[in-house]
């Protein structure tokens, strides 16, 4: 897979969801030499990674960087923000729920100055995606999840959606689409779909268990060199003859930029970091999909079949004047996700289910920053959960808990449930539901936005619409940190589409998904 030379046409920092796409696409040209730097191990042949239903056991494991948050006065300060330490990145680590972004999500980006990222341009790239994305297979459709779908449709009057990717939707309930092979419960992650088939390309070099800790200029002042440290402590400088591509994710990409002197100048100077570019937006605009949880005990063990224990979901549009996109989402878990409720003294249950009301486009926006100039010290993350001045996010959770109870009280789901465990039926006022809902809130592991792209008139835009870091030559960012705003839905496919488009931008193509 290449040799030990330190110069390549492209160096990709991060072998995650976007990095795998770029590596595969750029090495289609046999004369294009690409090096991928990945901090974790390979996923090839690793059943712990490749078996989708094992995802929950990857959290807080050797495959997890495990970032924490600073104190969250209006939320839960104990959330572990899992970020994958393995080839394939979070597509090797998550549940692989796969939604095309809604057209309005992309058109919103374009309206905010990301020219060329409108729905008409981006969505046709779906035809290029190599992942196998299909609705949950019939064999994996657990009877209680089926009854959740039936009950939600009956209680709320929303349609049952057979394929959420068939057309845009404002509301609906159904089984998700997943990037997986149902036979064997195998992931169709970015690494499986894009990299595994091409690992023998002689123009592709993988440097695994290798950590990038500083971007530095080449002899011409272009920011195309990166200093890396291998597992044995050996330090090397890799140079990109064309461009350096940062694909390390919404936490580690801005972290690397700031460690390299690219970011808010005053903050960097305070840490003793030499400023190479004053970009105040690096680390700002930290986005997420917060969610809460409501848990029921079931009368006994559930049937065992499932794709990944959260196979079905619900979308609602509560505000008819808010446009065609849903503004409340649920995941339905066939396991009692009680890590946050037990901390508050609620009992653990052996057999149960839960619903997790989720804020699709949260209005609370956070930031991240370096604690020191030491590359080994984890950055500070402040998502500022539930701090939006209008209380939109908090109200979404309160409404969601109420809606969840409506669904749970409706047959046939009602017939499975023994009792509500958390917060319990006595918690009914909006104030009490808000207090509970915020204290047990969690993340759907979707940090984004920390190197957002935008127009020349946006002083906080880190990237231009070609994903180039402003004011610097030779360096682009391709991962969820580029998001100006959070897509309504689970964002993995949006990252895949962005990477496919980025490959066209790099190759000088005009785009369009042809």
Peptide bond between residue 190 and the one before it cis (omega within 30 degrees of 0): no
User: Residue 514: its pLDDT value, please?
Assistant: 32
Beta strands 34-37 and 7-13 are parallel
Tens of pLDDT, residue by residue over 465-479, are 999 999 999 999 999
Q: Which two tokens stand for residue 457?
A: 């008139």
User: Residue 1: its pLDDT value, please?
Assistant: 31
Over pLDDT 90: what percentage of the chain?
96
Answer whether residue 400 shows pLDDT above 90.
Answer: yes
User: CA 496, CA 494: separation in Å to the nearest integer?
Assistant: 5
Question: Residue 503, Cα to own-chain centre: how many angstroms?
Answer: 20
Q: Are 487 and 362 in contact (CB under 8 A)?
A: no
Checking phi first, is residue 221 left (phi over 0); if not, alpha (psi -120 to 50) or beta?
Answer: left
Binned at pLDDT 50, 70 and 90, residue 107 comes out as very high
Spell out the alpha helix ranges (H) of 17-82. Answer: 17-26, 47-50
Catalytic residues, by residue number, are 446
Answer whether residue 511 shows pLDDT above 80.
Answer: no
Residue 118: other Cβ atoms inside 10 A: 16
Q: What is the mean pLDDT of the chain?
A: 96
Over pLDDT 70: what percentage of the chain?
98
Tens of pLDDT, residue by residue over 373-398, are 999 999 999 999 999 999 999 999 99
User: Residue 345: its pLDDT value, please?
Assistant: 97
Answer whether residue 227 shows pLDDT above 80.
Answer: yes
User: Residue 321: its pLDDT value, please?
Assistant: 84
Peptide bond between residue 92 and the one before it cis (omega within 30 degrees of 0): no
Q: Which two tokens stand for residue 143?
A: 């009877």
User: Residue 320: its pLDDT value, please?
Assistant: 83
Mean local confidence (pLDDT), 126-145? 98
Q: What is the 3-state secondary structure (H, E, C) of 218-287?
A: CCCCCCCEEEEECCCCCEEEEEEEEEEEECCHHHHHHHHHHHCCEECHHHHHHCCCCCCEECCCCCCCEE
Mean local confidence (pLDDT), 186-214? 98
Tens of pLDDT, residue by residue over 287-337, are 999 999 999 999 999 999 999 999 999 999 998 888 999 999 999 999 999
Mean local confidence (pLDDT), 244-260? 98
Mean local confidence (pLDDT), 87-94? 98
Beta strands 211-216 and 225-229 are antiparallel
Tens of pLDDT, residue by residue over 48-88, are 999 999 999 999 999 999 999 999 999 999 999 999 999 99
User: CA 200, CA 172: separation in Å to the nearest integer?
Assistant: 44
Answer whether residue 91 shows pLDDT above 90.
Answer: yes
Overall residue count recorded for the chain in this entry:
514
Mean local confidence (pLDDT), 111-130? 98
Answer whether residue 225 shows pLDDT above 90.
Answer: yes
Binned at pLDDT 50, 70 and 90, residue 509 comes out as very low
**What pTM value is reported for the model?**
0.97
Domains with residue ranges and CATH for the chain: 1-131+182-288+360-383+444-514 (3.50.50.60), 137-175+290-358+386-440 (3.30.410.40)
- The residue among 444, 162, 177 whose CA lies nearest residue 307 is 177
Tens of pLDDT, residue by residue over 434-453, are 999 999 999 999 999 999 99
Answer whether residue 20 shows pLDDT above 60.
Answer: yes
């Amino acid at each position: 897979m290449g040799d030990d030379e330190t110069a390549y046409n492209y160096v990709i920092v991060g072998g995650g969801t976007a990095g795998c796409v770029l590596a595969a696409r750029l090495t289609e040209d046999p004369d294009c030499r690409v090096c991928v730097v990945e901090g974790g191990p390979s996923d090839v042949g690793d059943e712990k990674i490749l078996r989708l239903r094992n995802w929950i056991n990857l959290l807080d494991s050797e495959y997890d960087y495990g970032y924490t948050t600073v104190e969250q006065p209006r939320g839960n300060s104990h959330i572990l923000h899992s970020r994958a330490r393995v080839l394939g990145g979070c597509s090797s680590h998550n549940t692989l729920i796969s939604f095309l972004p809604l057209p309005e999500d992309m058109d919103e980006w374009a309206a905010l100055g990301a020219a060329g990222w409108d729905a008409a341009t981006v969505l046709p790239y779906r035809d290029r995606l190599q992942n196998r994305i299909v609705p949950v297979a019939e064999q994996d459709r657990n009877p209680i999840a089926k009854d959740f779908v039936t009950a939600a449709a009956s209680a709320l009057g929303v349609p049952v959606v057979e394929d959420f990717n068939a057309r845009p939707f404002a509301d609906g309930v159904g089984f998700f689409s997943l990037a997986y092979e149902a036979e064997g419960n195998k992931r169709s992650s970015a690494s499986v779909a894009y990299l595994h088939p091409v690992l023998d390309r002689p123009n592709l070099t993988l440097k695994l268990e290798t950590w990038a800790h500083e971007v530095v200029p080449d002899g011409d002042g272009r920011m195309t060199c990166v200093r890396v440290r291998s597992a044995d402590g050996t330090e090397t400088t890799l140079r990109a003859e064309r461009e350096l591509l940062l694909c390390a994710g919404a936490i580690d990409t801005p972290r690397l930029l700031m460690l390299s002197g690219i970011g808010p100048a005053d903050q960097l100077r305070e840490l003793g970091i030499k400023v190479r570019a004053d970009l105040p937006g690096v680390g700002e605009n930290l986005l997420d999909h917060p969610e809460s949880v409501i848990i029921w005990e079931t009368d006994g063990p559930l049937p065992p079949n499932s794709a990944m224990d959260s196979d079905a979901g619900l979308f609602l549009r509560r505000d008819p004047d808010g446009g065609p996109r849903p503004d409340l989402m649920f995941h339905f878990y066939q396991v009692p996700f009680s890590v946050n409720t037990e901390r508050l003294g609620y009992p653990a249950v052996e057999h149960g289910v839960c619903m997790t009301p989720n804020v699709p486009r949260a209005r609370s926006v956070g930031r991240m920053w370096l604690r020191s100039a030491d590359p080994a010290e984890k950055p500070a993350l402040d998502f500022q959960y539930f701090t939006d001045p209008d209380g939109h996010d908090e109200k979404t959770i309160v409404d969601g808990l109420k809606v969840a109870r409506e669904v749970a009280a409706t047959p046939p789901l009602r017939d499975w449930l023994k009792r509500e465990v958390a917060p319990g039926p006595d918690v009914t006022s909006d104030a009490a539901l808000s207090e509970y809902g915020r204290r047990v809130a969690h993340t759907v592991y979707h940090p984004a936005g920390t190197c957002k792209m935008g127009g020349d008139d946006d002083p906080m835009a880190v990237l231009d619409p070609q994903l180039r870091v402003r004011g610097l030559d030779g360096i682009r960012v391709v991962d969820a940190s580029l998001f100006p705003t959070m897509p309504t839905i689970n964002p993995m496919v949006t990252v895949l589409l962005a990477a496919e488009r980025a490959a066209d931008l790099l190759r000088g193509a005009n785009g369009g998904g042809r």
